[in-house]
Amino acid sequence: MKKNEEIATIFERIADILELKGENIFKVRAYRRASEALLGMDEDLSSPERMEEMAGIEGIGKSMAGKIKEYLETGSIAKYKDLISDVPETLLPLLKIQALGPRTIMAAFRELGVRDLESIEKAVADGRLAALPGMGEKKVENIRMGIEMYKTGKERISIGLALPVAEEMMLPLRAVAEKVSLAGSARRMRETVGDLDILATCSDCSRAVDAFVSHPLVRKVNARGETKASVIIGTYNLQVDLRVVAPESYGAALLYFTGSTAHNVKLRGRARDMDLKVNEYGVFRGEEMVAGKREEDVYRILGLQWIPPEIREDRGEIEAALAGKVPELVRAEDIRGDIHTHSNYSDGTNDIRTIALAARDMGYGYVGICDHSAASRIAGGMDEKKLGARNEEIDEVNREIRGIEVLKGIEVDILSDGRLDYPDRILEKLDFVIAAIHQGFRKDAAKRMKSAMDNPLVDIIAHPTGRLLSGRSGYDLDIDEIIEYAAGKNVSLEINSHFDRLDLNDLNILRARSAGARFLISTDLHEAGMFANIRYGVGMARRGWLTRKDVLNTYEWKDVPLRRRSKCCR
């Protein structure tokens, strides 16, 4: 998807430039929408011949298709080159600064010669920005703080870090509000969130807003009104937004605040076509409120099935809901076992018995111990002797403990020459094999992964892209090539729930699903207390529109469609 991503980035930049130049906002949105559409496509635009794939994609019309073709043929887009000659490239990142929008940036550029972060800081400091018409001390002070945040804070954080903080922020609200609900991208379980969004319903809402802004974690209050407030908290410098409404508006408000924006806009457009109006207070036919208490009621009056938050991204879910074809997404309760767990035989902290008991407490029927192979030395990789001892201990635990089946697995290293770290003689004695690259990210990664998949004893590829949200970009390979190959060989792809991995992510899952791949959702835990983190992987799977049957570990162990059990593709 390299080309799609490149073109999406250019469209995003064109949108930014047009916005700065004060172009028609709908044109700006058209470019943003086209950018999103490119990222959400099933097909890789690797060459101009694949242009037919564009036909019928919503948001990509004649002009966009022409520019895409131009890029694929020539490697650049003339319109972008034109635009970027008018506006310094270094101005675009300033749009990310809170309280600093396109009008102010452009005024500062035209009137004060501001061209980048450094020069806007100077204009703030020496009072020139405040002197511009319509500006003033307070506005500039807000911009100054926005710049501070921009320079220090990370842009987005993993859902796995954000959800526990959200729960902490919601706790004291529960005492003063009727209902307190998570909303925004966190409720949609996006892999990363830009902030936290919380909805509360109440009869006396000023008390709820008070409680919120005086939460002990709050460092700064951005805004505070009758119906909403916005704060920055100490944890991760996160912004947290609170919205309050009366109970009769709960459904409409939750729908609004859960988003996504694109989902909201499309729903509201549909409502308009039906001579209805949707806002965060309800659905209105003229003056009369005709729905609003429950999300389901709002969808129903628009002729739609209720849509799970995870897929509210305007990726076809509204069309599916109209046709009554919203998929039954995989649920946390469907997960029957977790087979990517590390014991103290490699780099885990707990013994096998402890892991087994914790898995049983989760209600699982089985748990797979999946320690590192010898080559992962820093991760305590096991030699053959140690593996033998571990397998004996698993047998022992299975004899001792009822109600959970402990399985013998391995996270076997894919070596630098593409061979596996253990011979088949060892692998075939195990219940399942997960293969992964842990070293040599730049060295023939695709070729090595494929040669690993050529071994019929390999059931699953772990964290298939290798990227870390904290920064590491991942293996040097084309993930679509790996997806195709895995689907063809009946090798399953992991959805790793670790907060820094979330790998595969939603977009990759969507394409892998179209390619016919199967998936394993696992925690990759190193501590028995971490089983519940599976929820992040389940969230990712749901965002990828997966159902129960797409996911290996929703089956009882004897029925899990492992590659090694399949008749074909050996």
Ligand X SMILES: Nc1nc2c(ncn2[C@H]2C[C@H](O)[C@@H](COP(=O)(O)OP(=O)(O)OP(=O)(O)O)O2)c(=O)[nH]1
Query: CB neighbours of 141 closer than 8 A, spacing ≥ 6?
Result: none
**Per rule CB under 7 A, is residue 146 in the interface with DNA?**
yes
- Contact between residue 475 and residue 437 where contact means Cβ atoms under 8 Å apart: yes
CA dist., res. 165 & res. 157, Å (int): 11
**Per rule CB under 7 A, is residue 181 in the interface with DNA?**
no
CA dist., res. 514 & res. 480, Å (int): 11
**Per rule CB under 7 A, is residue 114 in the interface with DNA?**
no
- Contact between residue 173 and residue 211 where contact means Cβ atoms under 8 Å apart: yes
Q: Which is nearer to Zn ion, 484 or 524 (CB)?
A: 524
DSSP track, 443-468: SSHHHHHHHHHTSTT--EESSSS---
Q: Which is nearer to DNA, 142 or 566 (CB)?
A: 142
**Per rule CB under 7 A, is residue 416 in the interface with DNA?**
no
Sites for Mg ion among residues 191-210 (CB under 5 A): 195, 197
Binding site for ligand X (CB under 6 A): 184-185, 190, 193-195, 197, 241, 256-261, 264
Question: Minimum Å distance from CB 267 to DNA?
Answer: 8
Question: Minimum Å distance from CB 126 to Zn ion?
Answer: 54
- Classify residue 243 by its DSSP letter: E
State which of residues 317, 411, 413, 484 lies at the interface with Zn ion (CB under 5 A).
411
Q: Among Zn ion, Mg ion, ligand X, none, what does residue 524 contact (CB within 5–8 Å per kind)? A: Zn ion
Q: Which is nearer to ligand X, 184 or 292 (CB)?
A: 184
Q: Among ligand X, Zn ion, DNA, none, what does residue 201 contact (CB within 5–8 Å per kind)? A: none
Residue number of the CB closest to ligand X reads 259
- Contact between residue 306 and residue 296 where contact means Cβ atoms under 8 Å apart: yes
Q: Which is nearer to DNA, 30 or 528 (CB)?
A: 30
Q: Which two tokens stand for residue 119?
A: 């020069």
- Contact map string, positions 511 to 540, toward Zn ion, x by CB under 5 A: -------------x----------------
**Per rule CB under 7 A, is residue 353 in the interface with DNA?**
no
**Per rule CB under 7 A, is residue 558 in the interface with DNA?**
no
Question: Minimum Å distance from CB 151 to ligand X?
Answer: 19
Dihedral over Cα of 481, 485, 487, 493: its sign: negative
CA dist., res. 537 & res. 501, Å (int): 10
CA dist., res. 221 & res. 495, Å (int): 37
- Site stretch for DNA (CB under 7 A), options 217-225, 386-394, 417-425, 510-518: 217-225
Question: Minimum Å distance from CB 205 to DNA?
Answer: 9
Of the candidates 493, 497, 492, the one whose C-alpha atom is nearest the C-alpha of residue 538 is 497
- Residue 407: HSE in the Cβ half-sphere, 13 Å Cα cutoff: 25
Q: Which two tokens stand for residue 137?
A: 């001390």
- Reduced to 3 states (helix: H, G, I; strand: E, B; else coil), residue 279 is strand
**Per rule CB under 7 A, is residue 64 in the interface with DNA?**
yes
- Contact map string, positions 82 to 101, toward DNA, x by CB under 7 A: ---------------xxxxx
- Contact between residue 202 and residue 218 where contact means Cβ atoms under 8 Å apart: no
Question: Minimum Å distance from CB 212 to Mg ion?
Answer: 13
CA angle, residues 547, 551, 555, in degrees to nearest 5: 105
**Per rule CB under 7 A, is residue 226 in the interface with DNA?**
yes
Of the candidates 214, 203, 306, 190, the one whose C-alpha atom is nearest the C-alpha of residue 251 is 306
**Per rule CB under 7 A, is residue 30 in the interface with DNA?**
yes
Q: Among Mg ion, ligand X, DNA, none, what does residue 534 contact (CB within 5–8 Å per kind)? A: none
Of the candidates 347, 570, 335, 346, the one whose C-alpha atom is nearest the C-alpha of residue 458 is 570
Q: Which two tokens stand for residue 111?
A: 């009137």
Tell me, by CB under 7 A, how many residues bind DNA.
61
- Site stretch for DNA (CB under 7 A), options 53-61, 162-170, 491-499, 504-512: 53-61
CA angle, residues 192, 196, 197, in degrees to nearest 5: 125
Sites for Mg ion among residues 230-249 (CB under 5 A): 241
CA dist., res. 137 & res. 121, Å (int): 14
The label of the residue with tokens 């899952």 reads 509
- Contact map string, positions 260 to 279, toward DNA, x by CB under 7 A: -x--xx--xx-xxx---xxx
Residue number of the CB closest to Zn ion reads 524
CA dist., res. 18 & res. 84, Å (int): 10
- Site stretch for DNA (CB under 7 A), options 23-31, 212-220, 391-399, 507-515: 23-31
Q: Which is nearer to ligand X, 109 or 257 (CB)?
A: 257
- Reduced to 3 states (helix: H, G, I; strand: E, B; else coil), residue 199 is strand
**Per rule CB under 7 A, is residue 139 in the interface with DNA?**
yes
Of the candidates 309, 251, 302, 301, the one whose C-alpha atom is nearest the C-alpha of residue 280 is 251
Residues at the site binding Zn ion, with contacts judged by CB under 5 A: 411, 524
Residues at the site binding Mg ion, with contacts judged by CB under 5 A: 184-185, 195, 197, 241
Residues at the site binding DNA, with contacts judged by CB under 7 A: 24, 26-27, 29-31, 34, 57-65, 79, 97-105, 133-140, 142, 146, 184, 195, 197, 223-228, 230, 239, 241, 256, 261, 264-265, 268-269, 271-273, 277-280
